[in-house]
């Protein structure tokens, strides 16, 4: 079993689900990356989210599990009420420590651990949301040599999160929801 050579991490909060539903059908089956989705949500909706995303994706979608190896072409969802960390050996770790930016899972926590594990072999995409989670993580990804992308705030249901990121973090590209799958396929396709 070979771990994913590239990693895409997508983070979102209020309004973040719609762009994910838009991009999933466009992802290529030959994607040479693991994809992690970190969404702020209530724990009672976790099984519904996996089913909803699976219905829109040709790639397998699953909730991330402790010590799971990141595989190319698989979409992992951060479990509700746990921080999701990526270890240097490209396995996953779940943590129930205090909330960061009022959130668990925290996008910043996942972005930072991904940057430490994957360095320049990753991209982070920040979507719609109502708090500042994700901005510090984008800075970490940029400093590690990864690619940073943000949803165009004009297309976000709640523009605070992407707008803060654009103002405070180095952002390589601003994307419309319809451009996100193409962006991912281009940087991580085969």
Contact indicator for 100, 108 with CB cutoff of 8 Å? yes
Enzyme catalytic residues:
13, 40, 133
Of residues 78, 183, 178, the one with CA closest to residue 125: 183
Residues 6+ apart with CB under 8 A from 58: 25, 27, 29
CA distances from 98 to 72, 76, 167 (A): 30, 22, 27
CA distances from 153 to 69, 157, 163, 169 (A): 34, 8, 6, 14
Q: From the CB of residue 2, how many other CB atoms can be counted at a distance below 10 Å? A: 8
Tokens of 18: 């719609």
């Amino acid at each position: 079993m070979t771990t994913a050579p590239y990693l895409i991490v997508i983070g979102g909060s209020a309004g973040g689900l719609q762009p994910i539903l838009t991009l999933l059908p466009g992802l290529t089956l030959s994607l040479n990356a693991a994809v992690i989705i970190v969404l702020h949500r209530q724990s009672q909706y976790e099984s519904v989210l996996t089913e909803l995303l699976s219905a829109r994706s040709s790639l397998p979608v699953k909730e991330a599990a402790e010590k799971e190896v990141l595989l190319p072409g698989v979409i992992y969802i951060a479990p509700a009420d746990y921080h999701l960390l990526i270890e240097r050996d490209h396995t996953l770790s779940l943590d129930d420590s205090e909330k960061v930016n009022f959130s668990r899972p925290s996008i910043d926590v996942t972005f930072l651990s991904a940057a430490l594990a994957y360095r320049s072999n990753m991209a982070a995409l920040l979507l719609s949301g109502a708090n500042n989670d994700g901005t510090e993580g984008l800075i970490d990804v940029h400093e590690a040599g990864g690619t940073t992308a943000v949803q165009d705030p004009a297309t976000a249901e709640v523009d605070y999160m992407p707008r803060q990121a654009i103002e405070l973090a180095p952002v390589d590209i601003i994307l419309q929801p319809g451009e996100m799958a193409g962006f991912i396929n281009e940087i991580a396709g085969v």
